[in-house]
Each structure stands twice: as C-alpha cells, then as structure tokens.
Amino acid sequence: MLPEDGIAPRRRFASRHRLFDAMHAATPILDALREHPEVIRCATTGSLRRWNDVVGDLDFLVSSKNPEPVLDYFASLPGVASVLARGETKASVVIESGLQANLRVVADIEFAPALAIFTGSREHTVVMRQRAIARGLRLNEHGLFRSTEETRDPSLRVDCRTEEEIFEQLGLDPVPPELREDRGEFAAAETGKIPRLLEWTDLKGSLHNHTDWSDGRNNPEDVARHAIELGLSYWAITDHSRASFQANGLSVDRVRQQLHHVADINRRLAEEGYDFKLLSGTEVDVLRDGLDFPDDVLSQLEVVVASLHDPAGDEAENTRRLIRAAENPHVHMIGHPSGRLLLEREAYKVDLDAVIDACAATGTWIELNASPWRLDLDWRLWRRARERGVKCALNCDAHRLEHTAFLRLGAGLARKGWLTRDDVVNTLPLPALREALAAKRARNSR
Ligand SMILES: [Zn+2]
Ligand SMILES: [Zn+2]
C-alpha cells in the first residue's frame, strides 16, 4: 500500500477537461458513493464544485467511520480503468474517459472544514485562513481550532458541522461555491451583499437555437414539443443566415417560409391547449460591411442574435463590426462574443470591454452561450457587464434536443459571474420578454 504522500507526484494523467464532460463523468461516481452504506456525506470539491469552465481532476470528498471499504469500492467502480494510488484515506484512479478521479475520506467531524478548504481556489483559501488567524483561530482541512499554532488537537476544535458555520465563525455570510475565487466575495459576505444568484429553474426558455432548417438535427415542431415536456414557456428558433453556407444558412426566402411554419406550429400548439410559443428569429452573421440580412427582414423576426463567425485578424476591425451590430435597432443580442471554443480555439481578437460599453449604450443584451464548448461571454466579465447595466441572455445554442441540458450548465456559469434572476432576460415570462424585445427596437429605431 502506498503512503498517502505517494499520491501527489503521480499525475501522469492530469490534464484539462471541459466542465460539462467532467460533470458527466463525476455524476455516476457521486451517485455510487452516496449509495455505499459506510458513506455518511459526500461531495465534489475543487474546480468542479466551483463550476470552472475548464477543470482538472475530479475530486471527491467523503465522510465515513470506515475508510477502507469505501476506498476499495471507489477503486473498483465500473468505469475505473486503472488505480494510480491507494492510501489509508485517499485513492486516485483513472476512469475510462481519461479523467483522473481522486477520493479523500475523512471523519464526519472533519467533513465541513475539508469541504471548505478543498473547494475554494488557492487565493480564496488563503484569505479564509488569514481571517481565522485574525480571530485567534486556525483553519485547516481537519477543522477550525482555537489556537494560534498549526494543530489538529480535538480539544481545541470549534465544532462546525457545515460550511455555513465556518463562514459564520469567520464573520462571513455563506459564500456559494461558484464565487469562491477571491474576486470580491469576502467584501460582499462581510456586508450582507452576496446576491441571491440565478437558479437554473428560473429560466423560461432559450433565445438562440437551431433546427434542421440550418445545421441543427431536429425539426421545429419536435423542438417545441421537447421544450414543452421540460416545462419551458418559449424557445426561439434562430437558424443561421445565408453567409454561414457551411452551416446551411437560410436565404431570405427560407426565412420567410420558416416564419409561416413557426406560426403554424404555434397555432397547432395553442389549439392543443399548450401555453408555449416558439419565437421566430435568426442568428444573423456579422459581416465586414454590416449584417447578413437587411433591416426589413430582421424587423419581421421576433428575436435577432448577431454573431461573428468569420472574424478579421485585426482587433479594431472585429470590435468595430460588433459595435455596429449592437447599434442596429433590430439586433437584440450579441451571440458568443469572444468566439472561443474551450480547449480548442482561442477567442477572436476583439476588445470585449468596448463591446460591453456599446451594448450598455444601446440596450443590447449579451449572450451567455451555454454550449459546453463556448461558455461565452466568459464568467469573469459578467460583473463588469452587469455594473454597466447590460442584461444577459442565457442561451443553449441548441443543435439537438438533448442540448436543452445546457440551460443548467449555463446557469452555473451565470452564478459564477454573480448574475441574479433580474440580470437574465430569459427568466422573464413571455409577455414581459416580448415587451423587452420590443423596447430595444423602440429605443434605437431610426
Ligand atoms: Zn454562432
Ligand atoms: Zn448558433
């Protein structure tokens, strides 16, 4: 058996993974751990629990009186390809999808402090420890102790069963895991200013999605019926415009046909008694000399997403194009503003700060594209956008039915960006959303 310290150097399989893939891999492991009779409490920790867009290993924390059988069980779960290390309280395995998964088992009394220590970013955890010291306390993964020295002496333990109790001892409101990055959460938690963050169940639909009219898999009616099954109120169909020929972008004639088709589907759904609407729209390409559709086409569509798909090599040029798009009264939002594909393609050269300013000035929304490859606008920029009064549209950019699951992923990233329900337009019920869509056009009509 390896000593516990033997685990750290063996990181051959350490690499980076998109959050969605990591969650997909972690969920069955967490479910399995939860079922084990010797497991009292269990959770993920680290970048996964913080909803970082890209994560490293999967880290699990379990409390148990009897680590041995839990570690055996973990090392022999279905899907484990190899065991990298196995100690008395820790084990590391590689699962078939290539991710490394680490389990740490602690006594239940240590669960909350370990969870707090192993969840926060390094910077966040440093501040937590410093706050403890300033109160004559020691915080480490074993507990919170009445001591000025490093210790794990049980007689000095401040009993904290939950993370909330640890935050309270440190003079803080509870900080949601997504915010534990040392990016302002301490100032907010000291003064009762941690916002009530968006919940994914607040979302009523998605405003940027595709069908088999362009490069999506499913037809609009199947898309509508699937959204109804999920309990959503609306779903915008925003297929590509003609310049995106590689994505089977729609001609002006096809856009007009689709408009009628969507109206037919809505009529049928209403007759069947459903309180649900498909919204007709487009993801119009932002071209060098303007948008891919003229204003008289855009004005007939309920939802217009303007996206840059074919950027210039020049930052000023890309920035100018997106600002011009925001200034068009028919454009409701800028889609995936940076154009990045996580772990695949860098962001376009674009001055996002200037784009945010232009959106603030024109009342244009910015998309949080919840596709696992995009998660764009980046979570780090949302507070700035929000402070300038820019609203978020949280969209699946769905290309097939199962992409509706991205709503939940995107909501986690919105939370990480400190967004509340009021900051996200597609939490609005349909009548209020329609008013907001119309308001953008009225405000800037020329
Ligand atoms: Zn796009
Ligand atoms: Zn799209």
Distance 424 CA to ligand 2 centre (A): 19
Whole-number Å distance, alpha carbon 209 to ligand 2 midpoint, is: 6
Lookup: tokens for 152: 């794990």
Pairing of strands 277-287, 303-307: parallel
Question: Which ligand has the minimum distance to the alpha carbon of residue 397?
Answer: 2
Tell me the average pLDDT across 146-153: 94
The residues of the chain that CATH labels 3.30.460.10 are 4-106
**pLDDT value of residue 444:** 64
Q: Are 368 and 392 in contact (CB under 8 A)?
A: yes
pLDDT by residue (tens digit) across 185-237? 999 999 999 999 999 999 999 999 999 999 999 999 999 999 999 999 999 99
Q: How confident is the model at residue 168 (pLDDT cuts 50, 70, 90)?
A: very high
Q: What angle do CA 210, 434, 241 make, to 5 degrees?
A: 30
Global pTM? 0.94
Count of C-beta atoms within a 10 Å radius of residue 88: 13
Interacting residues of 78 by C-beta distance below 8 A, sequence separation 6+:
none
Domain with CATH 3.30.210.10 in the chain: 117-190
How far from the centroid of its chain's Cα atoms is residue 181's Cα?
15
Q: Which CATH class is domain 4-106?
A: alpha beta
**Taking the alpha carbons of 174, 179, 180, 182 in that order, is the dihedral positive or negative?**
negative
**HSE of 257, CA atoms in CB hemisphere, 13 A:** 8
Instruction: Give the Å distance between the CA of 214 and the centre of ligand 2.
Output: 10
CATH 3.20.20.140 in the chain, residues?
Answer: 200-444
Alpha carbons 302 and 445: distance in angstroms, whole number: 15
How many whole angstroms from 397 Cα to the centroid of ligand 2?
A: 5
Q: Minimum-distance ligand to the CA of 396?
A: 2
How many other CB atoms are there within 10 angstroms of residue 78's CB atom? 9
Q: Is domain 200-444 in CATH 3.20.20.140, yes or no? A: yes
Q: Which ligand is nearest to the CA of 309?
A: 1
> How far apart are the CA of 377 and the centre of ligand 1, in A?
13
Q: Do you find a cis peptide bond into 377, omega within 30 degrees of 0?
A: yes
Q: 233: CA distance to ligand 1 center in Å?
A: 23
Q: Render pLDDT for 16-66 as a digit per residue (tens, 0 to 9).
A: 999 999 999 999 999 999 999 999 999 999 999 999 999 999 999 999 999
Ligand 2 centroid vs 374 CA: distance in angstroms?
11
Query: 432 CA to middle of ligand 2, Å?
Result: 24
Which distant-in-sequence residues (6+ apart) come within 8 Å of 149 by Cβ? 138
SS3 category, 295:
helix
Residue 413 banded pLDDT, cuts 50, 70, 90: very high
Alpha helices, H only, 230-271: 252-271
Ligand 1: distance of its center to the CA of 397 in Å?
A: 8
- What's the 337 CA to ligand 1 centre distance in angstroms? 9
Residue 284: pLDDT over 50 = yes
CATH topology of domain 117-190: Beta Polymerase; domain 3 (3.30.210)
If you average pLDDT over every residue of the chain, what do you get? 95
Q: 236 C-alpha vs ligand 2 centroid, how far in Å?
A: 11
Distance 371 CA to ligand 2 centre (A): 9
How many angstroms is it from 386 CA to the middle of ligand 2?
Answer: 23
What residues does the ion ligand 2 have nearby, CB within 5 Å?
A: 283, 397
Rounded to the nearest angstrom, the distance between the alpha carbon of 228 and the centre of ligand 1 is: 24
319: tokens are 């920035």
